[in-house]
C-alpha cells in the first residue's frame, strides 16, 4: 500500500508519500515561521491562507520526488485534528477532494497519533508496549501505548504545555518567534547559577503537568535580575533544567507504574537536546531504551501522517464525503487497529 499524507494543522504544510514495503519515498515541508515572526506567534487566518497557497505545489513536488503516479497511490491521509480549524479544513478539503477525484479512499488522521508513531519511521522502531511522552507546542501528555489505537492517557497538561511555556518564556526574554529553540540555544551559554526554579506538580502523586506557574516564576525572575545577555542565559538554563527535570520525574513514575522498559518521546519539544540526553541516561540506568524521531520529524510533517494514515487505511477505516475537521479530539477516543 502507498499513501499520500497531508499535514496542515498549524503553521507547517507537510506532504509525504509512504510505501508499506519501501518506506518513506518523499516528504516536502514548508514552514510559515517567517510569516508569523512579526506577530510573535501563529495568526490562524494567515496560516490558513498560506496553506492554500502551498499545499498543491508541495503535493506535486512530493509525487515527483517519489516518482509516483496517481494510479500508484492506494489512499490519501490528512490531518483531521486537533489543531487550528481553518488550517485543518484546508488539508481536509484538498485531501478529501483529491481522493474523490482520483477514486481513492481517504482517512482523517489524529495529529498526536502521527507524532506518537513518528519514531516508527526510523530503522530502529520501538516495539509495543511503551510509554509515550508527547511534548509539542500545545500538548504535553504521557500515554500508555499497547498498540496502534490502544492508548490510555496517564497524564496531560492542565494549563500551559511544555512547548507553550518555552515559547512564552522566550518572549518574556525578548527572543524572536519561534522562541523555544532560541531559548534552548541561549541556555547553552548559561551558567549553573543558584536559581530555585520549581518542578511543578512533582511534590504530589499523579502524572499530570502544569507549566503555567513555572512561566510566571520565570517572568518574576527576569524582572528582578539585570537585563544583560549572561543573566538571561543563566535564567534560560535554569528554566530549561526545570522543564526537563519535571518531564523526567513524570516519565520515571509512568515507567514504574506500568513496568515498561521502552520510552518514546515525540513532538516539537522532543528535539531538545538536553531532554534527549537526560532521558537516554535515565533509561540506560533503568536497563531500558528511549526512542525518538529524527529532528525533521519532531515538528509537524507529512511523513508521520502518511504512516499513521496507512495503518488506519489497512484496518479498513474510511472517511465519508463530508469534509470534517476536529480542533479538539481526545487521543484515547481512537479505535484500535
User: Same domain for 199 and 305?
Assistant: no
Can you give the pLDDT at residue 102?
Answer: 98
φ, ψ at 170 (rounded to 5°): -60, -40
Mean pLDDT of 256-268: 97
Q: Write down the pLDDT at residue 136.
A: 86
Cell of 159: 494549563
What's the mean per-residue pLDDT of the chain? 96
Does 136 belong to an annotated binding site?
A: yes
Same domain, 199 and 86: no
Q: Is 138 annotated as a binding residue?
A: yes
Q: Mean pLDDT throughout 145-161?
A: 97
CB burial string 285-299: b at 16+ within 10 A, e below: eeeeebbbbeeebbb
How far is the C-alpha of 155 from the C-alpha of 169, rounded, in Å?
A: 23
Residue 44 has a CB neighbour count (10 Å cut-off) of 14
**How many percent of the chain have pLDDT more than 70?**
100
Do 101 and 189 belong together in one domain? no
Are 209 and 227 contained in the same domain?
yes
Q: Specify the CATH number for the domain of residue 190.
A: 3.30.420.40
Asked whether residue 152 falls in the same domain as residue 240, the answer is yes
Are 206 and 256 found together in one domain? yes
pTM here is 0.96
Same domain? 95 vs 220? no
Rounded Cα distance, 247 and 202, in Å: 9
- Give the pLDDT score at 194: 85
Helix, strand, or coil (residue 174): coil
Assign 3-class secondary structure to 28-80.
EEEECHHHHHCCCCCCHHHHHHHHHHHHHHHHHHHHHHCCCCHHHCCEEEEEE
- pLDDT confidence of residue 20: 98
The answer to whether 115 is a known ligand-binding residue is: yes
pLDDT in tens, 110-147: 999 999 999 999 999 999 999 999 998 789 999 999 99
Same domain, 41 and 157: no
Length of the chain: 337
96 and 44, same structural domain? yes
| Predicted local distance difference test score (pLDDT) of residue 137 | 79
Is 134 annotated to bind a ligand? Reply is yes
Q: Is the pLDDT of residue 193 over 90?
A: no
Q: Is 308 left (phi over 0), alpha (psi -120 to 50) or beta?
A: alpha
For 242, the domain range is 126-292
- Does 333 count as an annotated binding residue? no
* 241 shares its domain with 228: yes
Q: Is 301 marked as a binding-site residue?
A: no
Specify the pLDDT at position 172.
94
Same domain, yes or no: 309 and 253: no
Sign of CA dihedral 309, 312, 315, 318: negative
Distance CA 134, CA 137 (A): 10
The predicted-structure confidence for 226-255, as pLDDT tens digits, reads as follows: 999 999 999 999 999 999 999 999 999 999
Residues 31 and 45 in one domain: yes
Check whether 272 is labelled as a binding-site residue: yes
Q: How many domains does the chain have?
A: 2
Amino acid at each position: 500500500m502507498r499513501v499520500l499524507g497531508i499535514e496542515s494543522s498549524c503553521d507547517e504544510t507537510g506532504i509525504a508519500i509512504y510505501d508499506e514495503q519501501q518506506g518513506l519515498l518523499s516528504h516536502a515541508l514548508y514552514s510559515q515561521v517567517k510569516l508569523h515572526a512579526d506577530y510573535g506567534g501563529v495568526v490562524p487566518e494567515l496560516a490558513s491562507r498560506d496553506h492554500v497557497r502551498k499545499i498543491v505545489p508541495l503535493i506535486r513536488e512530493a509525487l515527483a520526488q517519489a516518482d509516483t503516479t496517481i494510479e500508484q497511490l492506494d489512499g490519501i491521509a490528512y490531518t483531521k485534528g486537533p489543531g487550528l480549524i481553518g488550517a485543518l479544513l484546508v488539508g481536509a478539503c484538498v485531501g478529501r477532494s483529491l481522493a474523490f477525484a482520483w477514486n481513492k479512499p481517504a482517512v482523517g488522521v489524529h495529529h498526536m497519533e502521527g507524532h506518537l508513531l513518528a519514531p516508527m519511521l526510523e530503522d530502529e522502531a520501538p516495539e509495543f508496549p511503551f510509554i509515550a511522552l508527547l511534548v509539542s507546542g500545545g500538548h504535553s501528555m504521557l500515554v500508555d501505548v499497547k498498540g496502534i489505537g490502544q492508548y490510555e492517557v496517564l497524564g496531560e497538561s492542565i494549563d500551559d504545555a511544555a512547548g507553550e511555556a518555552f515559547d512564552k518564556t522566550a518572549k518574556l526574554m525578548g527572543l524572536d518567534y519561534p522562541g523555544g529553540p532560541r531559548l534552548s540555544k541561549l541556555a547553552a551559554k548559561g551558567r549553573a547559577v543558584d536559581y530555585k526554579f520549581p518542578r511543578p506538580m512533582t511534590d504530589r502523586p499523579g502524572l499530570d503537568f502544569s507549566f503555567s506557574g513555572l512561566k510566571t516564576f520565570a517572568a518574576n525572575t527576569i524582572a528582578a535580575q539585570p537585563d544583560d545577555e549572561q543573566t538571561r542565559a543563566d535564567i534560560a538554563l535554569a528554566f530549561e533544567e526545570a522543564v526537563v527535570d519535571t518531564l523526567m520525574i513524570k516519565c520515571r513514575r509512568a515507567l514504574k507504574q506500568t513496568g515498561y522498559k521502552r520510552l518514546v518521546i515525540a513532538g516539537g519539544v522532543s528535539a531538545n537536546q538536553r531532554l534527549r540526553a537526560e532521558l537516554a541516561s535515565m533509561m540506560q540506568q533503568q536497563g531500558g531504551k528511549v526512542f525518538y524521531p529524527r529532528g525533521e520529524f519532531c515538528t509537524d510533517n507529512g511523513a508521520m501522517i502518511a504512516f499513521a494514515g496507512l495503518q488506519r487505511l489497512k484496518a479498513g477505516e474510511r472517511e465519508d464525503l463530508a469534509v470534517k475537521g476536529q480542533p479538539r479530539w481526545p487521543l484515547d477516543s481512537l479505535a484500535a487497529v
